């Protein structure tokens, strides 16, 4: 069994067991929506390829928090997330600047810690595993060699299907009316798997400026 399948199985096992325990204990469930920008970049372990700055992306989808204690929750989501980034590579006298446009379905598994629920504002911190599955991959290439220049190049077959990451973040939930709460915070999603197939190691990360609402 390869590492990709093993990580997926561990995540599914963890999710199912947590949901069963939460429903058995009569835990609360919060459902919400999110839509927010991401600031992405790509790190390189290849000598001839360097990171070339950040690029804006976007993320939106459904949030779910399963509270199994007053201040502890299992937090997950189903999001469509675009992680963009730029690299610069040199081959002899040729310099290529490549902009990656990678789109994933994200299903994170996080532990969320919250302050007491007797306040209109609850602060939180979270830590967990990011699980993302590639659904589209394109690239723009600018080069001093016109033969290498391309726009909207489909690179899906050259990219990895699974992207694993470590997530750390924090923010606040602000009560408005009834059970409705506005979510605002920051998330650092640090990728640790190669985004491309074959040799080399390019790893994508992003900073998410979280905005959402729980109902």
pTM of the model: 0.84
- CATH code of 87's domain: 2.40.160.20
> Which residues, at least 6 apart from 98, have a Cβ–Cβ distance to it below 8 Å?
86, 87, 88, 89, 139, 140, 141, 142
Residue 155 DSSP class: -
The single residue listed with the structure tokens 């950040």 is 54
Number of structural domains in the chain: 1
Q: What is the DSSP letter of 119?
A: S
Residue pair 183/34 in contact (Cβ under 8 Å)? The answer is yes
Digits of tens for pLDDT over the chain (215 positions)?
455 555 555 555 555 555 555 444 445 888 999 999 999 999 998 888 899 999 999 999 999 999 887 888 999 999 999 999 999 998 878 899 999 999 999 999 999 999 976 678 999 999 999 999 999 999 999 988 888 898 999 999 999 999 999 999 999 999 988 789 999 999 999 999 999 887 678 999 999 999 999 98
- Domain span holding position 8: 3-214
Question: CA-CA distances (angstroms) from residue 208 to 40, 70, 116, 205?
Answer: 9, 26, 25, 10
Find, among 137, 133, 147, the residue nearest to 93 by Cα: 147
What separation in angstroms does the CA of 171 have from each of 72, 174, 210?
A: 15, 10, 8
């Amino acid at each position: 069994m390869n590492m990709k399948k093993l990580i997926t199985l561990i995540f599914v096992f963890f999710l199912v067991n947590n949901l069963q325990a939460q429903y058995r204990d009569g835990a609360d469930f919060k459902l919400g929506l999110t839509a927010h920008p991401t600031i992405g970049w790509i790190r390189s372990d290849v000598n001839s390829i360097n990171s070339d700055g950040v690029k804006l992306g976007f993320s939106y989808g459904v949030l779910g928090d399963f509270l199994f204690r007053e201040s502890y929750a299992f937090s997950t989501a189903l999001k469509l997330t675009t992680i963009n980034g730029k690299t610069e590579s040199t081959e002899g006298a040729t310099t290529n600047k490549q902009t990656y446009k990678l789109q994933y379905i994200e299903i994170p598994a996080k532990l969320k810690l919250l302050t007491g629920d007797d306040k209109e504002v609850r602060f939180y911190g979270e830590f967990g595993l990011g699980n993302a599955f590639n659904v589209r991959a394109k690239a723009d290439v600018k080069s001093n060699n016109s033969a290498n220049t391309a726009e909207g190049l489909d690179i899906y077959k050259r990219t990895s299907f699974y992207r694993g990451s470590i997530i750390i973040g924090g923010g606040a939930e602000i009560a408005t009316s009834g059970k409705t709460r506005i979510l605002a915070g920051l998330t650092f999603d640090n990728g640790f798997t190669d985004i491309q197939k074959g040799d080399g190691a390019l790893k994508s990360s992003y900073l998410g400026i979280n905005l959402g609402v729980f109902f």
